[in-house]
Structure 1
Amino acid sequence: MTNDVTIRPHLQESYSDVYTPEALAALSALAPFNRRIKEVMDTRMKRRALRQQTKTRITFLDPDSVIPGTTIRVQDARDGKFEGAVIPADLQRQWIQGTGPAAKPNAPTENSIRNVAYALLSGADGWMFDGEDALGQTATMSLDNQRNLKLAIHKDPLFLNVAQQVATEMNKWAESFLGRSTITDWEKQLDFTTKIFRARGLHLDDRHIRDADGVAMAASIVDLTLYVVNNYQALQNAGSSIVLYLPKIQTAEEAAVWNALLSALENHLGLAEGTIKVYLLVEQLEATHQLMEIRAVLGKHFVGFNTGRWDYINSVSDALAWDKSFVNPNIEAITMTYGYMRNYEDRVRRAVNTPDINGNFALWQGGMEPNIPVGSEAGVSASMQKAVAGAEREQREGASGKWVAHWKMVHVVRPVWEKVDQANQLGRQFPRLTYTQQDADGLMQLEPAPTDIRGARNLLSVALQYGNAFGQGMQAAALKPADFFGNDDILYLMEDMATGEIRLSILWEWLHKGAVLTEADSALGLEAGSVFSAELYQKLLDEEYEKLLKASSKDVFDASKTTTLPISREIATVYVFSEIKAPWFIDLLNINLNNTDLAEAKKRIQLYMDTLINDGKRITENLDFKTT
């Protein structure tokens, strides 16, 4: 314990390499920001509630207004009258960025740190080591994640020994799949990939630290501080930038809080303003209404936007929960070329290609490729063709690179950019952003697509599996609907928290808005035009759950079937049937981390929903961490 923060018992001693004196001093310096973050998150919830009560859609900001928390006029931000960042050398070419956590659940360091070795030997131009959606939070995984990154960035002998072993394994796979090895000098290869860290969003709390008032510390403060303080000198000594991804930002006001945090840490460490560089994940509908404003407030820190898919779909569904006319189709139909997704992507590429006051542009990193090349020959071939086609489309549209969710995909997708051999697409000519009603409508544009029982089963099955994986400590998991277990023509996809969020969100939407099925289903005796009802949802839930109970341990761990799987079902049931839509699936999962007792889970779920309904507030703290 310091004067400003309290750490859960024994952790400061067992993770003294993470909670260093320097890190603790920085945490104390940034602790006052905890109150401000809680204020903007409270504002976010009130804004959400007001929109639902008044049945109001999100709109663009008043151009003559000042961005809250700043002195920047909205119109000036839109006109590029701000000082942005010059893209550093190691971010100029980011054709492929891999994503994934730096730790495994319940694993000793020498096993857990293999995740980092795979990443840095993959041949990806950058790797986003995840502290958020893909990192399990059971026990002390967030600290294991920080420890592993520090060991790797500092080239600790333990990490180097693991990396040498992993390089041999990776080459063996590459020779069998690609017909060639991909690593010639493993030690040199470790320096190729830019290290990037994704901190948890402002909406999440750390599980192990409370501030001086006993309030759970915002996870953003903790993640930013521990990563930067423990690694900035080693990164700079290696000639590398200090780079973060910032998730789940909804407004320029929230981005301004992040900017203040970054500047305060730089000041504390004696670093020049703008030393820490950030990409921002555009995952929220409201953010697409404020892209230039967000760029402006992040100023010298900002290098680019990333266009995600699942999280963004979830945000649109959530923002329009009150609108009975807005019903998403099957999730498989909502690709990046679908209606509102197409318009969202277009706004992002136009925003990054608008120059700042010095003529600097920003980067656009394309979305996620979740495929894993493991399955039947036909299944892998079809999926790899689809992955390459998706990358080619994004490259044509102006992306400077994209993401992959597994190291095996790097050399499948990277050739798309290698063939073009253009470091980036900075400054490519696109029309300036406009802010008309037509623009706003386009960001919520639906298009005809199937809404059927197959789609509902897929939503349910993967949502249940994801909740179960989360409880087991795996926020990144290879999943597919239960009906395809054993079918190697259908590949597993690497999924993180976003997949659970959107699947339950769409199911809530279908039930509470009476989605009309576009296809008949003879097995259930349903005609096209039937309405998705509570009875139908319950029947599908029972059937899909039974499939998971009968699945082999390969797909659903046997031990989970009497522990975390029933809790996942309870959360899904409460979430989908509740008249008041929960803002985040992850909240209900987080309050049950390290809990496998269904009766206790029901109490916690009820507490959360009662608090949401009666007080309009979320429970985000670790209920198992008491300071008194």
Structure 2
Amino acid sequence: MNNSILIHGNLQQEYSDIYTPEALAALTALAHFNKDIKEAMQARLQRRAQRAEQRQRITFLDPKSTIPRTSIKVQDARDGKFEGSVIPADLQRQWIQGTGPAAKPNAPLESSIRNVAYALLSGADGWMFDGEDALGQIASISLDNQRNLKLAIKKDPGFLKAAEKVADEMNHWAQGFFGRKIIHDWQQQLDCTTIIFRARGLHLDDRHIRDADGVAMAASLVDATLYVVNNYQELQKKGASIVLYLPKIQTAGEAALWNDLLSALETHLRLAMGTIKVYVLVEQLEATHQLMEIRAALGKHFVGYNTGRWDYINSVSDAMAWDESFINPDIEAITMTYGYMSNYENRVRCAVNTPDLHGNFALWQGGMEPNIPVGSAEGVTASMKKAVAGAEREQREGASGKWVAHWKMVHIVRPVWEEVGEANQAGRAFPRLTYTQQDVDGLILIENAPTTIRGARNLLSVALQYGNAFGQGMQAAALKAADFFGNDDILYLMEDMATGEIRLSILWEWVHKGATLTEDDAHTSTQAGDTFTADLFKKLVAEEYEKLLNARSKDVFDDSKTTTLPIAREIVLTYVLSEQKFPWFIDFLNINLNTTDLDEAKRRIGLYREQFVEGGKRVTENLDFLG
């Protein structure tokens, strides 16, 4: 027990290297932001409910208004009349950023810390160590994640021992795949990758800390504080930047809240204002209407935006849940060149290439490449060609780099930027952003594309598997639809939380808005022109669930089939069949972490449904905190 925070159980003693006196002092000093964050999240829900009730689309801000928590006028932000950031030297070239957690679930330290070694030896220019979508929150893994990063940054002997072994393994794979080594001096290679940390979004609660009032502490506050306090001195000693990725920001007001929090942390640590640098993941429809405003609100902290598919698709689907005419097609059709996705990407590249008061531009990091080069020779060749083509498109469009979800992809995709040779594309000439009705319409533009039973099975199978993997502690998992188990021509894709959210959002649309099928399907006796119904959905759930029960343990762990898989099915049924769309799939998974009893899971799901439907509130705290 600290003065103003309560840490669950004996974690403060078990993780005294993370919950240091300095870290606890900073958390105590920043604890007052917890109330602000909770109020901001309630305001989100109220805006969402109001738009649904009044059937209103998201629009641009009044240019004469002021960004909340700032003195910046919206029009000034759009015109670049704000003080931004100079891009630090170690962020100037970020051709490839990898992403993944720094820890493994239920693994001893010597095994878990290998995640960091793979990342820093991968050849990536930067690695976003994930505390959010790719990090399962089972047990105390969020603290293992922090511990492993701290040990790696300090080059602890245990980490170096693991890294030496990992380097040999990586070179062995590369010798077989490329015919050459990819690591020549493993100790030198460890210093070539910029370390970046993604804190959890404002919408999530930490599972281990409550404030003085007994309210669950916002995970974003905890994550950012622990990472910065535990590592800033070592990073600065090396001349490395302190860099965060900030996810799920919806408005410039929320960005200003993040700015205030980070500024307060810098003040507490006696760091110069703007020392902490941030990328913002553009994952929310509302954020695309406020891109320059978000840049301005984060000011000296802001260095760039990232674009990607999954989270953004989910956001658009959720924002348009009230509109019966807005129905997404099969997920395979929603690429970055599809309708609203193309317009979203264009706004981001225009926003980063608008100069601030001092002529500073920002960076645009492209989307995620989820492929893993493991499978049949034919399957790997086809998938790698597709991955490279996607990278080439983003490079042509102006991205300064992109993400990969697995270290094996770094040397496959990085040459796209390496051959061009430019450190980045900041300042490339693009038109200034406009704020017209045509722009609003473009951000929700649906184009004709297939809506099929095959597509529904894909959505459903992967969503079920993802929920099951989460319950097992793996918030990032290699997945593919059950129909392709055993087919090595179809590669597994690295999937994280976003993949489950968007799949269920699309299925919810199909059921509640009556999606029209575009192809015949003999097995279900449906024809093109038929409506996708709740009964059809239930039939597909039963069939896809049966496939998972009969799958090899390689694809679906045998011990999960009577524990976490039934819970995943219950969550899928609840989420998709509910008349009122729930805002976050992850909420249902979080409240059932460490739960394997189906009856208890149903009780918790019922509690969430009751709180949200009747009171408009999410249940986000750890229900086992006092257990």
CA offsets, 1:142-187, max 9 Å, x none? 0000000000000000000000000000000001001110100000
CA offsets, 1:101-146, max 9 Å, x none? 0000000000000000000000000000000000010000000000
Distance across 1 between alignment mates of 2:285 and 2:520: 33
CA offsets, 1:373-409, max 9 Å, x none? 0000000000000000000000000000000000000
Q: CA deviation at 1:70?
A: 1.3
2:233 aligns to what?
Answer: 233
2:573 is equivalent to residue 579 of structure 1? no
2:460 aligns to what?
Answer: 460
2:359 aligns to what?
Answer: 359
Distance across 1 between alignment mates of 2:523 and 2:264: 61
2:431 is equivalent to residue 418 of structure 1? no
1:145 aligns to what?
Answer: 145
> Residue type matched to 1:188 in 2?
Q
> Residue type matched to 1:358 in 2?
H
Q: CA deviation at 1:526?
A: 1.0
Distance across 2 between alignment mates of 1:611 and 1:293: 33
2:180 aligns to what?
Answer: 180
Q: CA deviation at 1:218?
A: 0.1
> Residue type matched to 1:145 in 2?
N
Distance across 1 between alignment mates of 2:186 and 2:525: 59
1:312 aligns to what?
Answer: 312
Superposed, 1:179-218 pairs within 5 Å as: 179-218=179-218
Distance across 1 between alignment mates of 2:222 and 2:380: 40
2:379 is equivalent to residue 379 of structure 1? yes
SS across alignment from 1:208: strand
2:554 aligns to what?
Answer: 554
2:391 aligns to what?
Answer: 391
Distance across 2 between alignment mates of 1:479 and 1:9: 35
2:272 is equivalent to residue 272 of structure 1? yes
Q: CA deviation at 1:525?
A: 1.2
> Residue type matched to 1:131 in 2?
G
CA offsets, 1:555-581, max 9 Å, x none? 000000000000000000000010010
Q: CA deviation at 1:71?
A: 1.0
Q: Provide TM-score, normalisation by structure 1.
A: 1.00
Distance across 1 between alignment mates of 2:164 and 2:76: 52
Distance across 1 between alignment mates of 2:308 and 2:418: 23
2:616 aligns to what?
Answer: 616
2:60 is equivalent to residue 40 of structure 1? no
2:536 is equivalent to residue 536 of structure 1? yes
Distance across 2 between alignment mates of 1:565 and 1:54: 38
Q: CA deviation at 1:90?
A: 0.1
Distance across 2 between alignment mates of 1:413 and 1:301: 29
Distance across 1 between alignment mates of 2:471 and 2:72: 43
Distance across 1 between alignment mates of 2:139 and 2:523: 44
Q: CA deviation at 1:523?
A: 1.7
Identity score, percent? 78
> Residue type matched to 1:103 in 2?
A
> Residue type matched to 2:362 in 1?
A
Distance across 1 between alignment mates of 2:185 and 2:67: 50
Distance across 2 between alignment mates of 1:550 and 1:51: 44
2:292 is equivalent to residue 292 of structure 1? yes
Distance across 2 between alignment mates of 1:51 and 1:211: 32
CA offsets, 1:418-462, max 9 Å, x none? 100000001000000000000000000000100000000000000
Q: Provide TM-score, normalisation by structure 2.
A: 1.00
1:493 aligns to what?
Answer: 493
Distance across 1 between alignment mates of 2:7 and 2:211: 9
Kindly report structure 1 stretches of 4+ aligned residues shifted beyond 2 Å: none
SS across alignment from 1:523: coil
1:625 aligns to what?
Answer: 625
CA offsets, 1:80-113, max 9 Å, x none? 0000000000000000000000000000000000
2:431 is equivalent to residue 434 of structure 1? no
Superposed, 1:11-90 pairs within 5 Å as: 11-90=11-90
Distance across 2 between alignment mates of 1:363 and 1:547: 44
Q: CA deviation at 1:213?
A: 0.2
CA offsets, 1:208-239, max 9 Å, x none? 00000000000001000100000000001011
Distance across 2 between alignment mates of 1:476 and 1:154: 26
Q: CA deviation at 1:68?
A: 1.3
Unaligned segments of structure 1, at least 5 residues: none
Distance across 2 between alignment mates of 1:577 and 1:537: 9
Distance across 1 between alignment mates of 2:79 and 2:41: 28
Q: CA deviation at 1:626?
A: 2.4
Q: CA deviation at 1:9?
A: 1.3
Distance across 1 between alignment mates of 2:90 and 2:404: 19
2:500 is equivalent to residue 525 of structure 1? no
